[in-house]
């Protein structure tokens, strides 16, 4: 998932920064970036929020990085 790397670098974050802001273990995140592991639904949601995009974009279901409008019931977790 080179998309994750691109998003991370665009925000000028290291993998360790991603771990600190999301709680996703750095080694697991590294595997996600290299396509060796898919994020869980919770992890995909955290990453989409951190990178200000959609879960669909994180998972490769769309090429449009525009985030969806937030639900009023959802509060920002990051």
**pLDDT (average), residues 40-63:** 96
Number of structural domains found in the chain: 1
Is residue 13 situated within a structural domain? yes
**Mean pLDDT across 3-24:** 97
pTM of the model: 0.86
Residue 30 lies in a domain: yes
Residue-number span of the structural domain to which 11 is assigned: 2-59
Residue 56 is encoded by which pair of tokens? 């669909």
Write out the H or E segment, with its range, that includes residue 40.
Answer: none
* Mean pLDDT value of segment 24-36: 96
What sign does the CA torsion over 64, 78, 8, 23 have? negative
Is 76 within a domain? no
Q: How far is CA 39 from CA 1, 14, 71, 72, 73, in A?
A: 10, 18, 22, 25, 24
**Residue with structure tokens 């279901």?**
61
- Does some domain include residue 14? yes
CATH for 27:
1.10.260.40
**What span, in angstroms and rounded, lies between the C-alpha atoms of 31 and 64?**
23
Q: What is the spatial distance between Cα 58 and Cα 25, in angstroms, rounded to a whole number?
A: 17
């Amino acid at each position: 998932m080179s998309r994750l790397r691109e998003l991370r670098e665009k925000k000028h974050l290291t993998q360790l920064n991603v771990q600190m802001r999301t709680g996703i273990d750095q080694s697991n995140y590294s595997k996600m970036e290299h396509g060796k592991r898919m994020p869980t639904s919770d992890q995909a949601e955290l990453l989409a929020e951190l990178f200000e995009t959609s879960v669909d974009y994180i998972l490769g279901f769309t090429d449009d990085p525009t985030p969806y409008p937030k639900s009023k019931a959802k509060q920002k977790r990051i």
